[in-house]
Amino acid sequence: MTDNVQIMSKVQENKQFKREKLLSSAYSLFIRKGINDTSINDITENADVAKGTFYLYFKDKWDIQNKVIAEKSRLLFDEAIIDTNNKNINNFPDRLINILDYIINSFVENKDLIKLINKNLSMGLYDNNILDEQFGNIKESFENDLKEYNRKIKRPDIILFMIIELVSSCAYNSILNDKPMQIDELKPYLYSEIKKMIG
Amino acid sequence: MTDNVQIMSKVQENKQFKREKLLSSAYSLFIRKGINDTSINDITENADVAKGTFYLYFKDKWDIQNKVIAEKSRLLFDEAIIDTNNKNINNFPDRLINILDYIINSFVENKDLIKLINKNLSMGLYDNNILDEQFGNIKESFENDLKEYNRKIKRPDIILFMIIELVSSCAYNSILNDKPMQIDELKPYLYSEIKKMIG
Amino acid sequence: MTDNVQIMSKVQENKQFKREKLLSSAYSLFIRKGINDTSINDITENADVAKGTFYLYFKDKWDIQNKVIAEKSRLLFDEAIIDTNNKNINNFPDRLINILDYIINSFVENKDLIKLINKNLSMGLYDNNILDEQFGNIKESFENDLKEYNRKIKRPDIILFMIIELVSSCAYNSILNDKPMQIDELKPYLYSEIKKMIG
Amino acid sequence: MTDNVQIMSKVQENKQFKREKLLSSAYSLFIRKGINDTSINDITENADVAKGTFYLYFKDKWDIQNKVIAEKSRLLFDEAIIDTNNKNINNFPDRLINILDYIINSFVENKDLIKLINKNLSMGLYDNNILDEQFGNIKESFENDLKEYNRKIKRPDIILFMIIELVSSCAYNSILNDKPMQIDELKPYLYSEIKKMIG
DNA sequence: GATGAATGAGTGTTCATTCAT
DNA sequence: TATGAATGAACACTCATTCAT
């Protein structure tokens, strides 16, 4: 029995390992060459795995793409919240700004990441529940903060939605194309508007 | 001589005609099947033109795609401004809101259009000058309005940029996925924030 | 000892059971989707058995295919003879016609069966001994009848062979494609020729 | 104008040539390795043509397969009729037997041909009009003969259908598997039955 | 300028088979 | 015995691009 469990878990572990090799292979290729120019062949080759193996774990390229993005962006949101908690920021607006700033800075450091995530946001990511998950996380954090710091906002969900759209959309253009200006120059204006919104 | 000129212009006309057939063929296919699922073969067939002819007018699919989007979105902005002028709206905020509302309503009526335009915005459209052109139009109109109605805004270009990003990004999600809600429900919140921004 | 035997036979039973599950799984899939579109994976999945298990009982798809057809067609011939015996038909030609009619009617009721069997007849079934077995049954029955009803035919084996070829070939086309006409319309002509043949 | 026609016909000729190269390449491979074991890659390689070219002329393997069989079997029927005419056989039964005998002999000389044609007959060839065409030819010839030699048969179409089914089915087994005996031994019995049928 | 036949590299996907557990 | 994860050769089919006419 113990043997069986151990054997099972050995196999299970191995499967998990393969799955992760594929995910990280896909991630690095998506970042490096873009999704359109990454073939499943590329992914498996890069993962040192047979081509057929891919189909044991993912349905097709869209499937692994969504999984990659879900994983990476969840990670990002989590980090942002942890960072904010670590800094012991104790008022609501600064907490929100810190979260957004952390995310923006991550994108600045990893421009391919914003390309990857954004590309997909616009390609129908909202159809499935990936954004909802992340959004869920930050929404919860946002509403906790509201309660904790005794803030009243009418329809906080809508405000948060608009804030995130504004930030991600502006960050995308500013970081990747310096439009309308470099992100560091843009930030003050951006954060100023956000503060108005949660005013 | 006159004859020659006429012949020349006839030829020129014919060329222009071919080009336009290709553009409108591409547009209808992009709208109908999406860009990824439209091949150059599809475009030429649909345009009743030989496959090789495509390459006399466009470099590749990305080229015609950009041209199509440029044309369609310029048209849209122009219409929005004309509509606003026709309505004799005489104060600055209402003029701005009317322009944005016109654009949003157009997207609602033609959801494939917002899909097409947005897909491309996020696929590197900012690399070339297409958005700049449109943006130029509306920026000019925006600044004219500011002057005419005696408004003072610090850095109107940045504010306008943020407004457009906010509107297009929110409209995309709301119209296509009802996230966070249907567009008609979202509009009041959206316009309210915009009015704050040009406050 | 008894225990051992029981255990052994239990194991044996179990093996037989697996084999039969595979056979009936294959049969239903062959009928439903055709042989070419049925994979070994399909067969094992449908039989609730691991993929590797297949190879413990059968060499490959051709192997199980032949076994399936052998089983199903032997069954069919047996049924036809039993039906004829039950009806107490007491003259030779009517007995033969009844057997053939029973088979044709079975095919009419299960068109996929004639597709399955025929496909394979033409795909090299004669290479192995499957047809011989069935043919053996009906040949024996045929020759018994000849003796019992005091009929004399030169080379009854050849005549029977030709009759079966004629019937199965005509039935296939008539049942599946109504060529040259529907089977009910064709039957009188067919049986009339057969009666001539056993003259 | 003349030039254009000549150019057109040059191109057209070339296309016809490519198509025929593909057909004959497919035929030789089907004969040599069987249809299932012949890939489109094999066909184009063998025809010294690019893979994509295949799809300019044929939809898929089933398409070219049908065309090959149609061509080859039409040829066979035509030859059989010509041979019969050349021999100045002047009575109906002998003419019919000669046609059938010619076809059988061709199959004996080219066993792969009967394999190819038969395989397909049983794989749903009757769905399309290939057999009808061939059958049309021989039916016409059959009915011409009936008229010319003043024969009366009730429903000659049905009789002919049964004769062809009987002959092709028996020939297949006899030629390929010597079942129930070699074709030369079988022929007398076969032809004797056929004569009864048109009796 | 216009054509469209030809190309062939490239793609996603399937599947019989093996073998460590 | 039984399993099912892994393999990788094989497949049909697509498509942007070229170029002789």
Comparing C-alpha atoms, which of D17, D64, D16, D15 is closest to residue D38? D64
Tell me the CA–C1' distance in angstroms for B53 and F8. 41
**Measured between CB atoms, which of D118, D193, D196 is closest to C122?**
D118
If pLDDT is split at 50, 70 and 90, which confidence band does A12 have?
A: confident
Question: Which parts of chain C sit beneath pLDDT 70?
Answer: 1-11, 119-136
Spell out a b/e string for C133-162, using b for 16 or more CB atoms within 10 Å of the CB, else e: ebbebbbebbeebbeeeebebeebebbbbb
Instruction: Look at residue D8 in the predicted model and tell me its pLDDT.
Output: 54
Chain E positions with an atom below 7 A of a protein C-beta are: 1-21
**Measured between CB atoms, which of B162, B179, B186 is closest to A170?**
B162
Query: Any alpha helices (H) in A110-182, and if so which ranges?
Result: 111-121, 130-148, 156-177
Tell me the CA–C1' distance in angstroms for C35 and E13. 20
Per-residue pLDDT, averaged over D109-120, amounts to: 81
- Give the best residue of C167, C169, C193, C197 to mutate against chain D (max D CB count within 10 A): C169
If pLDDT is split at 50, 70 and 90, which confidence band does B60 have?
A: very high
Instruction: Look at residue C134 in the predicted model and tell me its pLDDT.
Output: 61
Instruction: Look at residue C7 in the predicted model and tell me its pLDDT.
Output: 55
Instruction: Look at residue B131 in the predicted model and tell me its pLDDT.
Output: 53
Tell me the CA–C1' distance in angstroms for D8 and E8. 26
Nearest residue in D to C154, CA atom? D189
Instruction: Look at residue A128 in the predicted model and tell me its pLDDT.
Output: 44
Q: What angle do CA C116, C119, C125 make, to 5 degrees?
A: 105
Comparing C-alpha atoms, which of A170, A60, A178 is closest to residue A118? A170
pTM: 0.81
Residue nearest to nucleotide F21 (CA to C1'): D7
**% residues pLDDT > 70 (chain A):** 86
More confident residue, B176 or B50: B50
Considering all CA atoms of chain C, what is the largest pairwise distance in Å, rounded to the nearest integer? Answer: 65
Q: Is the CB of A61 under 7 A from strand E?
A: yes
If pLDDT is split at 50, 70 and 90, which confidence band does A189 have?
A: very high
Tens digit of each residue's pLDDT (9 = 90 or more) over C30-87: 998 888 889 999 999 999 999 999 999 999 998 998 889 888 888 888 899 899 999 9
C9 near D CB under 8 A: no
Tens digit of each residue's pLDDT (9 = 90 or more) over D14-40: 899 999 999 999 999 999 988 888 999
More confident residue, D124 or B91: B91
Taking 60 as the threshold, does the pLDDT of residue B123 lie above it?
no
C93: cis peptide before it, omega within 30°?
Answer: no
Taking 60 as the threshold, does the pLDDT of residue D3 lie above it?
no
Instruction: Look at residue A18 in the predicted model and tell me its pLDDT.
Output: 94
Per-residue pLDDT, averaged over A180-187, amounts to: 94
Instruction: Look at residue B133 in the predicted model and tell me its pLDDT.
Output: 60
In the 29-68 stretch of chain C, whose C-beta falls under 7 Å of nucleic acid strand F?
49-53, 56
C127 near D CB under 8 A: yes
Tens digit of each residue's pLDDT (9 = 90 or more) over B133-163: 666 667 788 888 888 888 888 888 899 889 9
**% residues pLDDT > 90 (chain D):** 48
B162 near A CB under 8 A: yes
Instruction: Look at residue A125 in the predicted model and tell me its pLDDT.
Output: 34
Interatomic CA distance for residues B42 and B40, integer angstroms: 5
Tens digit of each residue's pLDDT (9 = 90 or more) over D136-157: 677 788 888 888 888 888 888 8
Residue D6: nearest nucleotide (C-alpha to C1') = F21
Instruction: Look at residue D131 in the predicted model and tell me its pLDDT.
Output: 54
Instruction: Look at residue D135 in the predicted model and tell me its pLDDT.
Output: 64
Residue nearest to nucleotide E11 (CA to C1'): A39
Interatomic CA distance for residues D94 and D84, integer angstroms: 9
Tens digit of each residue's pLDDT (9 = 90 or more) over A150-180: 888 888 889 988 998 899 889 988 998 888 8
Are D5 and D14 contacting, i.e. CB atoms less than 8 angstroms apart?
no
Q: Chain-wide mean pLDDT for chain B? A: 84
Tens digit of each residue's pLDDT (9 = 90 or more) over A44-87: 999 999 999 999 999 999 899 888 988 888 888 889 989 999 99
Instruction: Look at residue D75 in the predicted model and tell me its pLDDT.
Output: 86
